[in-house]
Structure 1
Amino acid sequence: MLVVRTSRVSFGLFEADLKTGEIWKAGRRIKLQSQPFKVLAMLLEHPGEVISKEELQERIWGQDTNVEFEHSLATAVNRIRDALGDSASNPRFIETLARRGYRFIAPVTWLEAAPANSQSSESPGTSEMLSEPAILIAPAEHPAPAPSPAPAESHGTPSRRLSAIPARNLYIGIGLAAALGIFLGFAWGTRNTPSPLPRIIQLTDSGTIVPTGSTIEIPPASVTDGVQIYTSVVSSGQGVLARIPVGGGDAQPLRVPQQVLTASLGDISPDHTELLVKGHLSTEAEEPLWIVPVGGGSAFRVSNVLAHDATWMPDGKSILYATGSQLMTVRLQDGAVSPFTTLSSGRAFWMRWSPDGSLLRFTVVDPVSHATSLWQLATGSHQPRKLLDSWKIAANPCCGTWTADGKYFVFQAISDAGSDLWRLDGASLERPYRITAGPLGFGGPVADRSGGRIYFLGTDSRSQLFAFDTHRNALFPEPDFLSGAIRLAFSRDHQWVAWTDSHDRLWRARADGSERIQLTPNSLHVFLATWSPDGQHLAAMAAEPRQPWNIYILSSDGGSLVPLLHENRNAADPSWSADGKSLVFGRVDDLMGRENAPRSLEIVDLATNKTMTIPHSDGLFSPRWSPDGRYISAITLDQQKLMLYDTLTRTWTTLANSSVADPAWSTDSHAVYIHAFMAEGQPVYRVSVPDGHMERVTNLVGLQAAHPADYYFCGLTPDNSPLVRVRFSAGDLYSLDLEAH
């Protein structure tokens, strides 16, 4: 096969033409001045290599330049980062190496133009790992039908057409390609190879599709009637039901009753006229089921059942729902409930019938290890069978859907490269093929009502940490080294700060950013950490892959991590006593993993490792010990009350009746700050202790002018200013056609 190298390169969502000085993001041309582009081009030509400032100066400015070179170079790099949405403190593309230079750290693919009749084929013995050419992501404003082998170039959109070359060279190349084809045909015989990775088309560009997170059991689902895609989008910081044309465009929120405004989708009826949704007025795992017309309007509750997921039965007359470890059916006509099957462990999600109604496939989530797996159940059988039992290429397969003709079953799984989509052929149980290979995290597939087209979510979230200034009523960015922090905590002397990053790693540094070190290995997923009163140790809530959450004790200077508990269940939210001799901890809520065991709060003596249960703490989680040691705050599992435990009188009182998330004690122990995440405007309140007086500090919604996707309350600064993580993008919808060649 003749391959003609072009001047174009691909990295992430971006393509750049190093010859013309043009750059595109998802097919849209973006502005970058000439000098910054030259710097970018030099870095792209040497990915992974350190390019010194002297090399950049000689090539771009010249050795005899009279300009202030250091300032000009720094300005150029800043403009590149602005164009790419990159960050110096948490780089995805350009890394700064102090006193040395810069390095481009993202994978770079040189785009190759090939003859229209060329095909990619897989290497021998690697049918599960397809070749991974750069994927063309078409722009949202120009949704296209399934591409032909030699697609025409759209105006302003990068093309992979063969560049113009002399005819003589072309003929020679064709001859070489033909000879190579004969040789490969002889060597491989009639081996049947899969098609190249399909072309991806971007349908939305708002960045508001609700994504999943590392602490949520299962990704949100989308459904389609062939005309609209129904999904959840972020509006004013909350997920709401909306519809989006299958050809792409803006999301239009559905007008539905308040009970189902923030509901999660389960399925669409066989006749494509009604949506099956689960209520979401609390964080309880099992919620009411509702039926809503695809056009919005009214809502009808499905009997009195409570479920965590549901789907229509093939005949459209009953609902199959999952509650606990059981699958049940409820007849719509009279509400009669019947058992369907019982799982040996875990809970079922994403239940999807094959088009002929003969096979049910679903995802099972282990509540302790959080691992996901795919299972199937044949009609008339009560013994589920596991899929991909010996598959080792990727982990945590989940969330699958059948194509309309039943030819393929598409699901998501996670590998070292991130979350991607895979397909199984028909009723096959093994040997899936990869159909996406980044650069985004892809998941949540839904099949079109005809053909082989699927729609799915692509996520590339960006967030930044801000502190709220109560005097100026505005958000101000935290220092660069904390800009990418997810959760953080300051030591009690305010000299040190510890935080987790977007890769769930734990770091610590002085408050000015000096002496920064990584405390935990990349393999350990850290949710949060808290400082001991003397600042010598940290207690971290963390988990090894496919293992329950545990509490680890580690030195603030790094070193070994010591697991505190030795039990096969989740432990969460460690908080230190005032003397540093004990920790209070709880269990996880339903969103992070439903358990059958009772959930209460416990105190562990660090000297003896003995635990005691706090009286009357059943149904509470997320404990926080006040700095003075007098009180312990906690949240009810439905996150509708803030409770207060007095360690002297050993009694509980209700401190606040409000939706509650991420409580944080003031440094003087006189108040607890909470995020009322379900209230209008998502306010942060200061709740006085012990009288419970609630003072609104600020509304998170509307604070940032850059149209963020959502907000998270992350804690307090040493002067009790709220810390807020603003996410500027969540996810977008994409599509691909499995039948396109």
Structure 2
Amino acid sequence: MPSPSDTISKVSFGVFEADLQTGELWKAGRRVKLQSQPFRVLTCLIERAGEVVSRDELQQRVWGPDTVVDFDHSIGTAINKIRDALGDTADNPRFVETLAKRGYRFIAPVAIRTAALETSTSGEGYVSDSVDVHVVPGVPTTGDAESTSTHQDLPVRGSALAPPKSGVWVAAACLAALLAGIGGFFAGSRRTGPLPRIERLTRTDWIAPGTPATESLPASATDGLRIFIPVISGGRSVLAQVDVRTGEVQKLPLPSEISSPTLGDLSPDGSTLLLRNHLSPESEQPLWTFSTGGGTALRLANVIAHDATWMPDGKRVLYAAGNRLFISRLEDGVSTPFATLPGRAFWLRWSPDGQILRFTLMDPVDHTLGLWETSRDGRSLRPILSNWTKPSSECCGIWTGDGKYFVFQSDRGGSSDLWRLDGKQIVNPARVTNGPLSFAGPVTSRIGHQIYFQGVETQSLLQRYDAGRREFVPAPGFLSDANRIEYSRDRQWVTWTDLQGRQWRAKSDGTELIQVTPDSLQVFHAHWSPDGKKLALMAREPGKAWQIYTVAADGGTLEQPLHENRNAADPSWSDDGQSIVFGRIPDIMGKEDGPRALQILDLRTHKQTQLPGSEGLFSPRWSPDGRYIAAISLDQRRLLLFDVATRSWRTLADTTAADPVWASDSKAIFFHASSADMQPIYRASISDGRLEQIANLSDFSGGDTEDYFFCGLTIDNVPIVRSRTGTGNLYSVNLDSQ
């Protein structure tokens, strides 16, 4: 047992590390800003992890009995700053829980690190060091006997923020208090043991996260020595291989036909990948095989699918097209039906003995994910864990090589974690991770119970284009969390959708800020009415289709002018504010039955009229002067313009297009060629159709932006974008380490 003078008071919880001696907080190897007073409050809570710490105790410990301050306000402010630093919330806490009229409690498991860590080293690409730690559990989540946060060791960074003379003894005291204070709680915990320790495998920060909303799940595969996984590079997803020993990432050279691939699966012998082209917006695409050793890609004959896996014999492929599964023989390309499903199947995975197929079923109307299974003949079809979460959010399951465990991901409260089932059982899932990152996309080693998965934490910046400097610069601070932005016609107000899907409104200078929509409603985007008094929203409730809502700009009752059991999207106002044009969602946001064309909705009579010649178009935008309606073809390869007076269409731009935004004077429309090289933003002139490239991926300074999203225009018709500067890394855990 180390003596107090040898002890370093570092503690870890999740992917965070707190140095109680220096007052530093680190997250995944990066320092997190936290002022000294909130850090002292955090230290008090960590010392008493699992116990309720009253406000009076915090007052005495942090401020002392002789300090005259507004303690209620000061403690509340400190707790809020702690939560901001940890990415925590009061409503769904992972670290700091508020107990009304009692105080606060630190609920995450805490790992105590000793001085041995200072001299240990880790293999390249790993975060975890080989040292002994004491893992202390937090309070299980209500109704979940195994719900605690994961522990991970993080890199040590030196600093000198605390007085050097007293630091060691403070550390020793904190360590002793920590051990003593939670020993009793550990003995009384409902958990049977700590969660397994998580190790970081890569440091690339650019593992490509999946986007279930666009039918993109974070698939990966391994041959035992390498993990094949998509990464983001130059604005698109490319396939890479990761060395499981060192974490080294190398891009795989692929032919142009599948230059931005989506991974289906790896053949049983580990030699051949199944791929689709992610750049194609069609929901059903050709399948390709590609040798892990390189070479040319071969297209599977007569197969169009949205996902696929190998059959256990390695001679056939099981693929999903529409709501059906088929088996294709590689030798002659003949396909035979396997099963008909009540939705669209993804992430198809056979049990090691080839007797059970489990897969993720996606409902394109209510946008739920669920785990299903069927027998090897495709007849005994049933959901598993169907009532476990509401709405259902389970997906992406994978068997261990010996079939002992089935590991899958589940989204609860907007963050994804991994769970496991024992073998073929479909009851009592056990938690594998508990944040604070979103953990997703598990893949299992071929031997043993090592699990590799994504730890997703997207980092991004809101920026506007500066034409004089020819680069993007930071946007106004009050919009820092904005995702889609629009200014009112009089330029006095601004509304935006934040990264959590909530709608906000403020004066153009950031004053008079209000949240327009409730947290329970997920907003995709909103548009101002011509008089600036209302907003039209594309939004949805959990487990339901996208719908059109209208709401007063200063908040109030949400109104739903349509009542349909299908997705409605992109509402845009007429110039008189009496009508709205809207469309349907593209295939990648949910392939559903029924015609897809643009509709005009009269808000007074609620009568719908189809816009002539708009079949196969989506994303309508009515010009501010009311003369034109712009729209995009469903394959996202054309931007078209409808002349309201002549009731005729013309092609404005014959290139990849997304997110059209009208200039305030209606003389031009901006759009993002997000699937083209360097992702340019164009300005298209309405009078002559001339395209002017305004900016592209090369216009970001610092070199840390790999892709970006077009958010809207400033008051001066300058593009605003959200640039991504990191997405996440690969992590691993051994299920036998519990």
Indicate whether the TM-score tops 0.5: yes
**Helix, strand or coil: the match of 2:213?**
coil
Counterpart in the other structure of 1:496: 493
Assess if the C-alpha contact under 8 Å between 1:280 and 1:287 holds in 2: no
Superposed CA offset, 1:193-235 (max 9, x none): 8543111111112210111346323422011111111111110
Q: Structure 1 residues 281 and 304, CA, compared in 2 at 3 Å: closer, same or farther?
A: farther
Aligned pairs for 1:210-221 within 5 A: 210-213=208-211, 215-221=213-219
Counterpart in the other structure of 1:524: 521
Counterpart in the other structure of 1:507: 504
The answer on 1:618 being equivalent to 2:634 is: no
The answer on 1:644 being equivalent to 2:646 is: no
Counterpart in the other structure of 1:265: 263
Superposed CA offset, 1:478-537 (max 9, x none): 111101101111101011111111111101000000000011111110000000000000
The answer on 1:132 being equivalent to 2:129 is: no
Aligned pairs for 1:446-461 within 5 A: 446-461=443-458
Superposed CA offset, 1:218-271 (max 9, x none): 422011111111111110111111111112423211111011110100000111
Q: C-alpha separation between the residues in 2 aligned to 1:218 and 1:238?
A: 13
Counterpart in the other structure of 1:310: 308
Which residue of 396, 400, 403 corresponds with 1:406? 403
Aligned pairs for 1:410-449 within 5 A: 410-416=407-413, 418-449=415-446
Q: C-alpha separation between the residues in 2 aligned to 1:59 and 1:117?
A: 31
The answer on 1:199 being equivalent to 2:201 is: no
Superposed CA offset, 1:328-376 (max 9, x none): 1111111111111111x21000000001111000010001000011110
Q: Which amino acid aligns with 1:215?
A: A
Aligned pairs for 1:658-737 within 5 A: 658-737=655-734
Shift of 1:137: 4.4
Superposed CA offset, 1:593-630 (max 9, x none): 11121111101000001101111211111011111111
Q: C-alpha separation between the residues in 1 aligned to 2:673 and 2:584?
A: 21
Q: Which amino acid aligns with 1:683?
A: P
Assess if the C-alpha contact under 8 Å between 1:199 and 1:736 holds in 2: yes
Assess if the C-alpha contact under 8 Å between 1:396 and 1:413 holds in 2: yes
Aligned pairs for 1:347-426 within 5 A: 347-392=344-389, 395-416=392-413, 418-426=415-423
Assess if the C-alpha contact under 8 Å between 2:110 and 2:151 holds in 1: no
The answer on 1:226 being equivalent to 2:224 is: yes
Counterpart in the other structure of 1:553: 550
Q: Which amino acid aligns with 1:632?
A: I
**Helix, strand or coil: the match of 2:393?**
strand
Shift of 1:471: 2.2
Aligned pairs for 1:61-80 within 5 A: none
**Helix, strand or coil: the match of 2:702?**
coil
Q: Which amino acid aligns with 1:614?
A: L
**Helix, strand or coil: the match of 1:226?**
coil
Q: Which amino acid aligns with 1:672?
A: I
359-368 vs 292-301, greater mean Cα deviation: 292-301
For the aligned residue pairs, the C-alpha RMSD in angstroms reads: 4.1
The answer on 1:15 being equivalent to 2:17 is: yes
Q: Which amino acid aligns with 1:602?
A: Q
256-265 vs 41-50, greater mean Cα deviation: 41-50
Q: Structure 1 residues 118 and 557, CA, compared in 2 at 3 Å: closer, same or farther?
A: closer
- Unmatched runs of 5 consecutive residues or more in structure 1: 65-72, 96-102, 142-159
Q: C-alpha separation between the residues in 2 aligned to 1:483 and 1:14?
A: 24
**Helix, strand or coil: the match of 1:739?**
helix
The answer on 1:569 being equivalent to 2:566 is: yes
Q: Structure 1 residues 714 and 537, CA, compared in 2 at 3 Å: closer, same or farther?
A: same
Q: Structure 1 residues 240 and 308, CA, compared in 2 at 3 Å: closer, same or farther?
A: same
Counterpart in the other structure of 1:462: 459
Q: Structure 1 residues 133 and 554, CA, compared in 2 at 3 Å: closer, same or farther?
A: closer
- Unmatched runs of 5 consecutive residues or more in structure 2: 47-51, 69-73, 97-102, 115-130, 158-170
Assess if the C-alpha contact under 8 Å between 2:347 and 2:396 holds in 1: yes
Q: Structure 1 residues 707 and 253, CA, compared in 2 at 3 Å: closer, same or farther?
A: same
Counterpart in the other structure of 1:145: none
Counterpart in the other structure of 2:125: none
Q: Which amino acid aligns with 2:194?
A: P
The answer on 1:585 being equivalent to 2:578 is: no
Q: Structure 1 residues 556 and 248, CA, compared in 2 at 3 Å: closer, same or farther?
A: farther
Q: Which amino acid aligns with 1:224?
A: T
**Helix, strand or coil: the match of 2:373?**
strand
Superposed CA offset, 1:377-436 (max 9, x none): 111242411101332488411111111110111111111372111111111122211111
Counterpart in the other structure of 1:319: 317
Q: Which amino acid aligns with 1:249?
A: G
Q: C-alpha separation between the residues in 1 aligned to 2:175 and 2:639?
A: 69
Q: Structure 1 residues 501 and 30, CA, compared in 2 at 3 Å: closer, same or farther?
A: closer
**Helix, strand or coil: the match of 1:705?**
coil
Q: Structure 1 residues 111 and 279, CA, compared in 2 at 3 Å: closer, same or farther?
A: closer
Aligned pairs for 1:530-541 within 5 A: 530-541=527-538
Counterpart in the other structure of 1:245: 243
Q: C-alpha separation between the residues in 2 aligned to 1:293 and 1:211?
A: 24
Q: Structure 1 residues 323 and 140, CA, compared in 2 at 3 Å: closer, same or farther?
A: farther
Counterpart in the other structure of 1:284: 282
Counterpart in the other structure of 1:471: 468
Assess if the C-alpha contact under 8 Å between 1:446 and 1:455 holds in 2: yes
The answer on 1:299 being equivalent to 2:301 is: no
Q: C-alpha separation between the residues in 2 aligned to 1:45 and 1:125?
A: 22
Q: Structure 1 residues 390 and 63, CA, compared in 2 at 3 Å: closer, same or farther?
A: closer
Q: Structure 1 residues 426 and 214, CA, compared in 2 at 3 Å: closer, same or farther?
A: closer
Q: Which amino acid aligns with 1:431?
A: N
Q: Which amino acid aligns with 1:583?
A: I
TM-score by length of 2: 0.83
Q: C-alpha separation between the residues in 1 aligned to 2:508 and 2:105?
A: 28
531-540 vs 430-439, greater mean Cα deviation: 430-439
Q: Which amino acid aligns with 1:15?
A: E
Counterpart in the other structure of 1:99: none
Shift of 1:655: 1.0
Superposed CA offset, 1:87-134 (max 9, x none): 9xxxx9999xxxxxxx99997765468999999899999995304155
Q: C-alpha separation between the residues in 1 aligned to 2:421 and 2:262?
A: 27
The answer on 1:542 being equivalent to 2:544 is: no
433-442 vs 413-422, greater mean Cα deviation: 413-422
Q: Structure 1 residues 105 and 719, CA, compared in 2 at 3 Å: closer, same or farther?
A: farther
Assess if the C-alpha contact under 8 Å between 2:95 and 2:108 holds in 1: no
Aligned identity (percent) is: 47
Counterpart in the other structure of 2:165: none
**Helix, strand or coil: the match of 1:367?**
coil
Superposed CA offset, 1:59-96 (max 9, x none): 69x999xxxxxxxx9xxx9xx99x96999xxxx9999x
Q: Which amino acid aligns with 1:612?
A: T
Which residue of 650, 654, 666 corresponds with 1:657? 654
Q: Which amino acid aligns with 2:736?
A: E
Q: C-alpha separation between the residues in 2 aligned to 1:104 and 1:257?
A: 56
Q: C-alpha separation between the residues in 2 aligned to 1:285 and 1:602?
A: 23
Q: Which amino acid aligns with 2:39?
A: L
Q: C-alpha separation between the residues in 2 aligned to 1:641 and 1:739?
A: 53
Q: Which amino acid aligns with 1:514?
A: T
Assess if the C-alpha contact under 8 Å between 2:281 and 2:587 holds in 1: yes
**Helix, strand or coil: the match of 1:662?**
coil
Q: Structure 1 residues 10 and 561, CA, compared in 2 at 3 Å: closer, same or farther?
A: farther
Q: C-alpha separation between the residues in 2 aligned to 1:200 and 1:441?
A: 13
**Helix, strand or coil: the match of 1:591?**
helix
Assess if the C-alpha contact under 8 Å between 1:683 and 1:697 holds in 2: yes
Assess if the C-alpha contact under 8 Å between 2:12 and 2:153 holds in 1: no
Q: Structure 1 residues 458 and 117, CA, compared in 2 at 3 Å: closer, same or farther?
A: closer
The answer on 1:40 being equivalent to 2:39 is: yes
